[in-house]
């Protein structure tokens, strides 16, 4: 062929074979996809309650999570109640308008969530929110009877 850069008899190879590069990239993509799933599973497993109304807070420097088993987490790290109090007090000292986002498993007792609310309010937090799972909302129940 005219203009082709293929190797003739005794000539040099002047074109790049990209097939091995594409193979390597596909293997790396598959490895990334498989390990990303494992990394995501290391997150705290919390089954959030459903709600039809809700909005995401603008800024949430303090994230408190309550698990079904009774675990208490602050920004993803397991803590004791004393460590929670100290961290929230320090955050409020740094920012008087600090926001607390509370994520409690739907099977966590109501008393546990109220205890967390009481702790953060007693330390001066005035902005807090309860995290919900808006992605899997159930349709509202039909109303029966007069209001």
Backbone CA torsion sign across 56, 57, 58, 62? negative
Q: pLDDT band at residue 12, thresholds of 50, 70 and 90?
A: confident
Strands (DSSP E) contained in the chain are 62-66, 72-74, 77-78, 99-104, 127-130
pLDDT at 1: 46
Helix (H) or strand (E) holding 65, with range, is strand 62-66
If you average pLDDT over residues 128-136, what whole number do you get? 72
Mean pLDDT of the chain: 77
Q: Which of 2-6, 88-92, 129-133 has the lowest mean pLDDT?
A: 2-6
**The pLDDT of residue 93 is above 60:** yes
pLDDT at 69: 86
Query: Considering the domain 62-135, what is its CATH architecture?
Result: 2-Layer Sandwich (3.30)
CA distance 67 to 46: 6
Half-sphere exposure of 126 (CA within 13 A, CB side): 4
Owner of token pair 């594409």: 22
**The pLDDT of residue 49 is above 80:** no
Among 4-8, 41-45, 78-82, name the most confident range: 78-82
Strands (DSSP E) contained in 7-106 are 62-66, 72-74, 77-78, 99-104
Single pTM value for the model: 0.54
Domain ranges of the chain: 62-135
Q: pLDDT band at residue 62, thresholds of 50, 70 and 90?
A: confident
pLDDT at 145: 56
Q: Which residue has the higher pLDDT, 79 or 14?
A: 79
């Amino acid at each position: 062929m005219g203009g082709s850069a293929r190797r003739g008899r005794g000539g040099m190879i002047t074109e790049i074979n990209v097939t091995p590069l594409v193979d390597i990239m596909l293997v790396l993509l598959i490895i990334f996809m498989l390990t990303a799933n494992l990394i995501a599973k290391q997150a705290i497993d919390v089954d959030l309650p459903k709600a039809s109304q809700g909005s995401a807070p603008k800024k949430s420097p303090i994230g408190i999570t309550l698990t079904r088993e009774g675990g208490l987490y602050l920004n993803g790290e397991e803590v004791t109640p004393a460590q929670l109090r100290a961290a929230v007090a320090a955050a409020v000292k740094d920012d008087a308008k600090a926001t607390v986002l509370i994520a409690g498993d739907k099977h966590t007792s109501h008393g546990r969530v109220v205890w967390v609310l009481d702790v953060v309010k007693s330390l001066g937090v005035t902005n807090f929110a309860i995290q919900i799972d808006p992605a899997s909302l159930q349709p509202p129940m039909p109303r029966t009877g007069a209001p």
